[in-house]
Structure 1
């Protein structure tokens, strides 16, 4: 139910190759929307005023989701799965609001979401000449240092008010372009409304990435500033109506990662190295977690959202592995690459970027396992390593710091480290011992890095000692270490801090090697590849997704599945028909209690041809009038191919309709204050 980058296609599917964008394909930047192309296809396209208003209402959430302002008082529409962690962290054994649902009757009841930040793009500026001039003729690690220094300066110089703004330089087309995104940020985000998890996750893994669907995957947050809801005059109008078949729709959000512009060597690396390791290790984590959750009802509750996320990701990675092992699919990718090579032959300044990329990929193969298992994975160690690195990096000039530790990034980093959130010790221990055992398995017991990670201890013993001994679960301890800087970190005897200090030098050395042997030559080669693509296909290109604001256009339309038409929509009443009484098709209690009140003919979920990927979760689905008629929360099984290509005949975005959400707010989980606010009549 979470939109993730993935691919699952059969050999018979013909999708648009990564040459020139066609049909409804494209995750377009707001400064390069193809209005002429859309007008030719639809007879209409939005003007600049429409685009500007929509951009100003679009929200990016920390943690990889999208959203939108839907009232003048900071009310934010997004998916339930985007706020599930916040809901879970505000739950207790006695009051599990993840299971029961949550409705704030007044703003005073709205609950803080730790680590969450809402961001709105206010400007996009091309800074390619500045960054490329800084790199100049430098190569290897020197090129990476020069690029990072230029990026850090641009981000710091253009966002001097770090309390309310954030600047981020984004690499597009693999280094062919650099854009400076300026954001208005809101660091206090609170939970307003969330349905029962069973309503949002109805159908569970069997229905995940499928349609028809019966999912209320919607929730509301609110942005605050100085303890009060923020004023957001630039917001989308709430329109609780049913969609119309064939009508134009727009998805505005922050797609996470696509790899449509990769070369065949890069695809081979994913198929042969990265994906098999990820799939194998994640499968084992799932098994360990299920075993642990069976030990008690409390562990069942505490581990449920983690398991849900793991199972969602596994479905994605299985699809990717199948696709990249399909000769027909990879044959289409090879044909697209051959076409670009032929069009680029003998073009001045382009040379042979494919060979240079192949060399970088080989270098990555040589270092990948060590980098992948350089540090263990759990929240407590993540805090420790971030504190250790921040203490060192903050003592350096801004231009010389590691990416992610520049002046522009520090406010959000501090918030993510110091915000209060519950820590579940058994989950922390399980994840740490799993990642350490996988490191020993892939590296070998005699590898120097294994010895550095484990010393004379077992993964289980080390994880138990560190998790039980650390004080980093206490946000006050984390804040004190952050405030104390390098001196506090050097003096700390906290076992997790001591452990992070012991691993940091090796991890940094691996990163330095990666910068010199992989990142720098790969970026230079992909910049020339971008030049080749622009020369061959003009401005019909769009960059791979980078979790920055994009807009896609499409329409409400079903598809044919094995010769049978799939309808565009489902209805609330279908939930009762689909329910079996057994998980994951057990009826949400509030649905059962209010069955007689519910309008069973209200449109529940619907599908569109919009081109989306992971990160678009929570994106508003907008009509021509600029009103929101739904929130994107998933794709059908074919849309998982969006990682590598788009097929307009089969790829579909799955949307929860505003009509269903309105019905829920009025009759299933009554929230009269929220209903009034969405109508523009705050109580």
Structure 2
């Protein structure tokens, strides 16, 4: 599944309520950073281009590439001249509109994926792994849809997916000047950010009200691009009625398991089909869709990935990347591995119970994130990558120094960022002790998370918070699900060990929490005595007053809560300062390069160009396509090994099943977390693949995009999907809809239509 997926893999890290944020949850989403200068100032030197990259001493063969910051182009600024010069293809506005309106963003409780309309009847394709969470929610007694798959043989059998909605991008409007005007005059970082946030919220409310007056399904999101050098207001149409049509078994959707994850050659049918229904309860009629390609693509062919890539960090300085390498990623890996160990042990010992609690999909998400983070850390430890980033940074500095105005305005930004990293390093142990505490239901004990909500709720009530804000906080708290006692013990033990190890065993708060007991002893005692492990009891305590309840968790959170919020204030200062400096750096880069350099990923719609191509690896060549033959080779080579098993239907396929059909493919299109489910389309707007992953080489693409170093997007080939649907699943009505565009009500009608064609 796709990389760098804090939006997908670390789910509620982004979706859960941040207890340090005073604003409502559904506010203008801040994806990157605050602005510094006005639009006029950032474009004062438009037309300048960077000097030739300068080689580094000892690494004089390393040069920055033209697209090291990626090819995640916005639809507002498509690089038409570059596409025409490179591929001989210059799409018109109608082509771009169809590409934009055919794509979707899928939003669910724990994150986001991409998808696309593939018929005029609201049929949507996305990835199998994007539906894992939803399958846990729609299982009926005796079913195990994640393991067994699902196919609705009639429209009536299509099941609505609770909590999931689809968004279609309708409009994009530049609102930079309305946000940044006068902000550069404010010297205090925190005050500047407060003003920016107030402007964002007011503007978002205004634009949202205007949009809702036109259509109640519209939703507005204001997103900073180039770390705030530009702000764009995106208007999305939201579809709430999304139903499951088909998803394969886990063993083929996630074929190869964690072993093959983020690798290529790959052999996975990582695809699911959904359907959007209109307000009248009928399948949505959509003129914008990507017809399914039955012919597929060939080696070297131009393709475009259209999806919603998550945040990338390709515009960070070398000093910032060194901090990531030395502190952020190692600390994150330790935390992830400890939580995954707890879940793995529980799933192994109590598999049936794990499925009831939905822990298997949580475990897969953590394993996915661990492997992605390992790849990112490996990339930052590669001297070549940092040398290439430093070459780009030096080129930007050279351009700055060549201009008096740029040198005078931006000259100290690099040194200031370096100094900030030293300050962050001094606070790194405290940060690590509370990493993801209170912001992720994947990585936090649900008992401690409920305690933190209860603590915040009572304090806000005592301080006279608005009833609407208290109710919003209460609703967020009540969404936290119960977890098994042994998982809670494992998670709480891990958190207490992190507090002890990072803060030190003699720290006063650690002493208050542990005394002469071990973290495991404290965790077992807490889980045994607290009422917070039960959702009903928690709701009662929240209503009646948690801090005065006498619950066993209260003394614990009275130690952790003040520490967490005090640290939060310090981190807020660091983050505000870094966002301000990143905005300065982005304004400099934008002044030098303009739109020839795309912005980092922001979870909003992008279009990325590339070609179908393999790459050198492991002393040989990775082919541009893999086939079902390769899947069966993996099965027989690892027969009996978990991860490479196949369902029964795959072991005795019909004679018509053609194993030489392409199953997966590799393309040089740029992707990031959130790109999962992106449509891979050709010049005729036909869907030729569904992006589901990156290769190992591509994990470092979080920081620099290097297709010349073998970075590739991995997709399910449209031909392989049809072959499996037709010959292994007998999904005739789905095949007919994909190949003809006709809505088939049930399987019997589809079979009759096929017989008529044969006759």
Which category of TM-score, normalised to the shorter sequence, fits these structures?
0.7 to 0.9
Mapped to 2, the partners of 1:338 and 1:647 lie a distance apart of 18
Q: Note the alpha carbon deviations across 1:24-77, whole angstroms, 9 max, x for none.
A: 941111111101101110000322211112212222223132111223343321
Q: Is the 8 A contact 1:255 1:548 kept in 2?
A: yes
1:79 to 1:247, Cα distance in 2 relative to 1, 3 A: same
Q: Residue in 2 aligned with 1:617?
A: 676
Question: What SS class does the counterpart of residue 626 from structure 1 fall into?
Answer: coil
C-alpha deviation, 1:185, in angstroms:
1.9
Q: Residue in 1 aligned with 2:228?
A: 175
C-alpha deviation, 1:16, in angstroms:
7.4
Q: 1:542 aligns with which of 584, 593, 598?
A: 598
Mapped to 2, the partners of 1:427 and 1:294 lie a distance apart of 12
Q: Residue in 2 aligned with 1:209?
A: 262
Q: Note the alpha carbon deviations across 1:218-257, whole angstroms, 9 max, x for none.
A: 0122334658256251332222332222221111111112
Q: Note the alpha carbon deviations across 1:596-631, whole angstroms, 9 max, x for none.
A: 342222211111110112221111111111121211
Question: What SS class does the counterpart of residue 431 from structure 1 fall into?
Answer: helix
| 1:564 matched to 2:615 | no
Q: Is the 8 A contact 2:483 2:533 kept in 1?
A: no
Superposition CA RMSD, Å: 3.8
C-alpha deviation, 1:344, in angstroms:
0.6
C-alpha deviation, 1:355, in angstroms:
1.5
| 1:339 matched to 2:339 | no
Mapped to 2, the partners of 1:14 and 1:80 lie a distance apart of 42
1:244 to 1:391, Cα distance in 2 relative to 1, 3 A: farther
Question: What SS class does the counterpart of residue 409 from structure 2 fall into?
Answer: coil
Q: Residue in 2 aligned with 1:26?
A: 71
1:572 to 1:502, Cα distance in 2 relative to 1, 3 A: same
C-alpha deviation, 1:366, in angstroms:
3.1
| 1:159 matched to 2:211 | no
Q: Is the 8 A contact 2:372 2:699 kept in 1?
A: yes
Matches within 5 A, 1:580-595: 580=636, 581-582=639-640, 583-595=642-654
Question: What SS class does the counterpart of residue 315 from structure 2 fall into?
Answer: coil
C-alpha deviation, 1:311, in angstroms:
2.5
1:359 to 1:25, Cα distance in 2 relative to 1, 3 A: closer
| 1:238 matched to 2:271 | no
C-alpha deviation, 1:646, in angstroms:
1.9
Q: 2:129 aligns with which of 81, 101, 107?
A: 81
Mapped to 1, the partners of 2:132 and 2:597 lie a distance apart of 36
Q: Residue in 2 aligned with 1:325?
A: 381
Question: What SS class does the counterpart of residue 185 from structure 2 fall into?
Answer: coil
Q: Note the alpha carbon deviations across 1:647-676, whole angstroms, 9 max, x for none.
A: 223121111012222222222223333334
1:614 to 1:215, Cα distance in 2 relative to 1, 3 A: same
Mapped to 1, the partners of 2:100 and 2:275 lie a distance apart of 18
Question: What SS class does the counterpart of residue 222 from structure 1 fall into?
Answer: strand
Q: Residue in 2 aligned with 1:626?
A: 685
Mapped to 2, the partners of 1:452 and 1:111 lie a distance apart of 51
Q: Note the alpha carbon deviations across 1:323-342, whole angstroms, 9 max, x for none.
A: 22233332222222122112
Q: Max radius of gyration: which structure?
A: 2
Matches within 5 A, 1:136-535: 136-138=184-186, 139-160=188-209, 161=212, 164-224=217-277, 226=279, 228-229=281-282, 231-233=284-286, 234-298=288-352, 303-345=359-401, 346=404, 347=406, 348-374=408-434, 375=437, 377-379=444-446, 381-382=448-449, 385=452, 423-448=483-508, 450=510, 459-460=519-520, 463=523, 465-466=526-527, 469-470=530-531, 474=535, 503-516=560-573, 518-535=574-591
1:247 to 1:474, Cα distance in 2 relative to 1, 3 A: same
1:277 to 1:195, Cα distance in 2 relative to 1, 3 A: same
1:472 to 1:225, Cα distance in 2 relative to 1, 3 A: farther
Q: Residue in 1 aligned with 2:81?
A: 36
Q: Normalization by structure 1: what TM-score?
A: 0.86
Q: Residue in 1 aligned with 2:64?
A: 17
Q: Residue in 2 aligned with 1:677?
A: 737
Mapped to 2, the partners of 1:585 and 1:259 lie a distance apart of 34
Q: Note the alpha carbon deviations across 1:286-336, whole angstroms, 9 max, x for none.
A: 333333333234256564333332222222222222222233332222222
Question: What SS class does the counterpart of residue 655 from structure 1 fall into?
Answer: strand
Question: What SS class does the counterpart of residue 228 from structure 1 fall into?
Answer: coil
C-alpha deviation, 1:15, in angstroms:
8.5
1:204 to 1:155, Cα distance in 2 relative to 1, 3 A: same
**Number of paired residues?**
665
Mapped to 2, the partners of 1:163 and 1:390 lie a distance apart of 32
Q: Note the alpha carbon deviations across 1:548-599, whole angstroms, 9 max, x for none.
A: 2111011111122356332211122332232122222222322114353422
Q: Normalization by structure 2: what TM-score?
A: 0.78
1:492 to 1:498, Cα distance in 2 relative to 1, 3 A: farther
C-alpha deviation, 1:163, in angstroms:
6.2
